[in-house]
Structures are given as structure tokens and as C-alpha cells.
């Protein structure tokens, strides 16, 4: 059976360069054309994921008019195509203009085959990620995903979802560990929806947001007259979650005296409301979350060891957004669509500089920060496209400037993808090269270039 090669359309009228490029991309199914009509015909027939495009095409080989017509037609016919445009010396303005028209990237002439190869392969990888996300979205639309509210293409998050799926129909207590804003409550709700308790209530309480003197009442409820202001009997969150799931967010903030009472409930599955004398049996599944190091808190005496082991029967670690390659852009597009529908229908998408900024940002506030920035940007955007300035990701700090520099952005992207592939293949060079769609010698060269180790 013949090996399937990824398609690459090269639009170039220089016959000498045509031959050079065809030779350089023997790992690809290369289609080469030299004019606009042939380019569009090949696009329709072959549907290549990636196109390299020389802007100087006949009958205007010394200008860019014909090249921009090709670019505009490609974007109109197949907007998910990654178009990489060629820019001659002194033509940086044309290249940047092409980016504004929807091109993925550009390269300088005379052509550096190795550099262009890196751009092409990165474009293919991005296209694959987007295809995988579209497939996941379609599957979610059919109701077949376990955690329908989670959008991801990162293997790290897929692994998290699979773990949650496996434990959903058990009654073990689950602890979600992750930084603030990583989506712990969303995952807890996903666990509840995937369990046989889905018909019961999902009750969430943020233990850090409630004053210590009120937290006991919020959890366990109180009888009328139990204290000043208790004008009626009130159920607590634990009781409200009977038959369902109780989510304790920031569980590390529960004070020690209340930890004793929570432990007793986990052992006996009964509670007493404040001011009450009768025991109430409650059947609820406990899911908790924290960004704190509970084991260190146990060692310091700030968190009970016996409670920790009761809550942490299954521990699931949630990666930060920066550790999930490709997810920031996918989530940003989903947020933009939702907020545009709600608040500003004129906004249709992101400008290229915004997508570059999203990919390069460190996201210290994780998904919550991303959601807030996109929401604000949709509200403030003047045109159809949200730009990096709308997202307030055009800061003057040196780190942000380095991230947005094309050369360093390429290096960061290549390093991330290579490290990711090495991790998935446990350092196997042959498997990593196959996963990346490159030869073993090319991978060895990249490892040496970026000082990476298998």
C-alpha cells in the first residue's frame, strides 16, 4: 500500500525554483502551478492544506496584483488553507499586507529551503490541530463526548477527560489540582454529568469566598433560631447535593475546626444542622479542587491528613493553559463566537496579529484570563476583526516583544511541538520523526539546533 503523503500546492512561475522546491519536498505530494487560473483549479481539485504562493505571477510578474487575487480567492474558497507567501527583497510591506488578507506566514526571497520547510511543516501541524478540533466539535454536537463543555486538542487535557470518564460512575472522592482559572469547576460539572448521579443536583461552593464564621452554615445548614439572624430553617450545600454531587472549590481554605466536622460527614454520611439535634443522612459524591499544595499544608499542620486522604482517593492534575499547545487559539475562537452573538454581531473573527499574540502569550490567569480578554475585546472592537491591541496583548515589555518576533515565535513553536512529540513517543527518534512528518536526519538537525535532547 502506497504511503500517504500530505499535499502541498506551490504557486511559482520561476521554472528553476519550481524544480528546486519539488526536489526539496520529496516527503510531500507536491503540485506545482505557475499562474492564477491553474492555482485555483488545483485548489479545487486537490484541496491542499498548505499553499506556498509567489505574489509575483504573470501577467504581473514584477508586481503583486495577481498574487493577491490568488490569495483572496483561496481565502474565499477554502479559508482554513494555510497560505505562505513569498516576499522579495524590500517587499516586507507586501508580505505584511498579505498577512492582513489572511495569509498564514511569509518567507523572504531568495528562498532558504530549510527555513521554508520549517514554516511549511508548522503550518501542516496547525492545520491538523484545527481539523482535530473540528472533529471534536462535530462529535460534541452529536452529544458523544464525555465532557461536552471542554474544548481542547491537547493530549494532556484529553488524558484528563479520559481519567474523569473512567471514575465518573464510581463513588470515590475526586480531587482536582490546578492553578486558578484552569477550568476545575467545568471539569467537576463534566464529571457529574457523566455519572449516574446526573439527575441529581450539582452544588458548588467556593470555600475561599465565604467568611469563616459563615462557612459552616453554608455547608451544613442551620435551624431556625440557631443564632442571631437565623429566622428560618435553611438547608446547607451538603444537604442540597443529596443524590447528586457536591463540589468544594478551594478546599484548602476550610479552617481546621470545620475540617473535623467535614471528616465526620465523610465517615458517617450524616450531618447535623447548626442548632439541630437530629442526624440527617445524605448521599452525595464529593469532588474538590484547590490550587494549593495540600500535602505541604498537611506537613505544616494546616490541613488534616485523614481528611486529605478521604478527599484525595483519586487525584487529577489539570495542566495550565500554557502547557496545552494550541488550546489558547481554539478556546479564543469559541469565546469570540459566543460573545459576538451575545454582544457584538459585527465581530466575525481574529486578525492575524491577534492570533499570533494569543499563541505567544503566557496566560498566567489561564482560561479565565483568556475568556475575560476576549469578552472585553469583542465589546471594544471597532471593526469585524479583533486585533492584538483589542486584546491588550501589545505590551511594551521585552518578553512580549520577543514572543511576537517572527523568528523567535517560530523557534518557540518548533521547540514546543518537538518537545511535545518527544514526550508522546517517550524519546523514540523514529516515532517522533514520523509524528512530525520529517526524516530522522532532519529531526537530529533540529534537536541540535534547538539544544533539545531525546
Q: What average pLDDT is seen over the chain?
A: 83
The residue that leads in pLDDT, 379 or 154, is 379
Element of type H or E holding 204: strand 202-206
pLDDT at res. 401: 36
Residues of the chain with CATH 3.40.50.2300: 7-133
Architecture of domain 407-449: Orthogonal Bundle (1.10)
358 CB-near residues (< 8 Å, 6+ apart): 328, 329, 332, 350, 370, 391, 393
Highest-pLDDT range among 99-108, 125-134, 157-166, 176-185 = 176-185
Q: Say whether pTM exceeds 0.85.
A: no
The residue ranking higher by pLDDT, 431 or 203, is 203
Domain 322-404 in this protein, CATH class? mainly alpha
- For residues 362 and 353, what is the distance between their CA atoms, to the nearest angstrom? 16
User: Can you give the pLDDT at residue 206?
Assistant: 94
What pLDDT, on the 0 to 100 scale, is given for residue 382? 82
Cross-strand bridge partners of residue 234: 222
pLDDT for 151 equals 79
Q: Average the pLDDT over 357-372 and give the result.
A: 89
Which CATH number does 7-133 carry?
A: 3.40.50.2300
In this structure, whether the domain defined by 155-318 belongs to CATH 3.40.570.10 is answered with: no
**In the predicted structure, residue 90 carries a pLDDT above the cut 80:** no
Would you state the pLDDT for residue 305? Answer: 95
Q: Is the dihedral of CA 315, 319, 325, 330 positive or negative?
A: positive
The residues of the chain that CATH labels 1.10.8.60 are 322-404
Average pLDDT over residues 197-214: 92
Least confident piece of the model among 62-71, 173-182, 353-362: 353-362
DSSP state at residue 234: B
- All CATH 3.40.50.300 domain ranges of the chain, comma separated, are 155-318
Q: Where is average pLDDT lowest: 45-49, 112-116, 393-397, 439-443?
A: 393-397
Residue 444: pLDDT over 90: no
Q: State residue 400's pLDDT score.
A: 39
User: Which residues on adjacent β-strands are paired with residue 176?
Assistant: 289, 316
Hey, how many other C-beta atoms are within 10 angstroms of the C-beta on 123? 21
Is the Cβ–Cβ distance between 98 and 84 less than 8 Å?
Answer: no
**Distances, alpha carbon 115 to alpha carbons 241, 346, 403, in Å:** 58, 38, 18
Over 50: is that where the pLDDT of 138 sits?
Answer: no
- Count other Cβ atoms within 10 Å, centred on residue 115: 13
- Where are the domain boundaries for CATH 1.10.10 in the chain? 407-449
For residues 249-272, average pLDDT: 94
pLDDT digits (tens, 9 = 90+) for 36-84: 999 999 998 888 999 999 888 888 887 888 989 999 889 888 888 899 9
Q: CB within 8 A of 433, min separation 6: which ones? A: 439, 440, 442, 443
Amino acid at each position: 500500500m502506497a504511503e500517504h503523503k500530505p499535499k502541498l500546492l506551490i504557486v511559482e512561475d520561476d521554472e528553476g525554483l519550481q524544480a528546486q522546491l519539488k526536489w526539496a519536498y520529496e516527503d510531500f505530494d507536491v503540485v506545482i502551478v505557475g499562474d492564477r487560473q491553474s492555482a485555483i483549479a488545483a485548489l479545487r481539485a486537490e484541496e491542499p492544506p498548505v499553499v506556498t504562493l509567489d505574489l509575483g505571477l504573470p501577467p504581473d510578474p514584477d508586481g503583486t496584483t495577481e498574487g493577491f487575487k490568488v490569495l483572496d480567492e483561496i481565502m474565499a474558497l477554502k479559508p482554513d488553507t494555510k497560505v505562505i507567501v513569498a516576499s522579495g527583497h524590500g517587499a516586507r510591506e507586501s508580505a505584511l499586507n498579505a498577512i492582513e488578507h489572511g495569509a498564514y506566514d511569509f518567507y523572504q526571497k531568495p528562498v532558504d529551503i530549510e527555513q521554508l520547510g520549517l514554516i511549511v511543516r508548522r503550518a501542516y501541524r496547525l492545520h491538523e490541530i484545527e481539523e482535530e478540533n473540528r472533529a471534536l466539535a462535530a462529535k460534541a454536537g452529536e452529544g458523544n463526548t464525555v465532557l461536552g463543555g471542554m474544548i481542547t486538542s491537547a493530549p494532556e487535557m484529553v488524558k484528563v477527560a479520559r481519567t474523569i470518564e473512567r471514575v465518573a460512575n464510581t463513588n470515590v472522592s475526586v480531587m482536582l489540582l490546578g492553578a486558578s482559572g484552569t477550568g476545575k469547576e467545568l471539569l467537576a460539572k463534566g464529571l457529574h454529568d457523566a455519572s449516574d448521579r446526573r439527575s441529581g443536583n450539582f452544588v458548588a461552593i467556593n470555600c475561599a469566598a465565604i467568611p469563616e464564621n459563615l462557612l459552616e452554615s453554608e455547608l451544613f445548614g442551620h435551624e431556625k433560631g440557631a443564632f442571631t439572624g437565623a429566622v428560618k430553617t435553611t438547608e446547607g450545600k451538603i444537604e442540597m447535593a443529596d443524590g447528586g454531587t457536591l463540589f468544594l472549590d478551594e478546599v484548602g481554605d476550610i479552617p481546621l475546626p470545620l475540617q473535623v466536622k467535614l471528616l465526620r460527614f465523610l465517615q458517617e454520611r450524616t450531618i447535623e444542622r447548626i442548632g439541630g439535634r437530629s442526624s440527617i443522612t445524605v448521599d452525595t459524591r464529593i469532588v474538590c479542587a484547590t490550587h494549593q499544595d495540600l500535602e505541604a499544608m498537611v506537613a505544616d499542620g494546616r490541613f488534616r491528613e485523614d481528611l486529605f486522604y478521604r478527599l484525595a482517593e483519586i487525584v487529577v492534575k489539570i495542566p495550565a493553559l500554557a502547557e496545552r499547545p494550541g488550546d489558547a487559539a481554539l478556546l479564543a475562537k469559541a469565546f469570540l463566537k459566543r460573545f459576538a452573538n451575545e454582544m457584538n454581531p459585527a465581530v466575525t473573527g481574529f486578525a492575524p496579529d491577534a492570533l499570533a499574540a494569543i499563541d505567544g502569550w503566557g496566560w498566567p490567569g489561564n482560561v479565565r484570563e483568556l475568556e475575560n480578554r476576549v469578552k472585553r475585546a469583542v465589546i471594544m472592537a471597532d471593526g469585524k476583526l479583533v486585533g492584538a491591541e483589542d486584546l491588550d496583548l501589545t505590551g511594551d515589555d521585552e518578553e512580549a516583544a520577543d514572543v511576537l518576533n517572527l523568528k523567535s515565535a517560530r523557534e518557540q513553536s518548533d521547540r514546543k511541538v518537538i518537545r511535545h512529540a518527544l514526550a508522546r513517543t517517550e524519546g523514540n527518534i523514529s516515532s517522533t520523526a514520523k509524528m512530525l512528518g520529517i526524516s530522522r536526519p532532519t529531526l537530529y538537525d533540529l534537536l541540535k539546533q534547538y539544544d533539545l535532547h531525546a
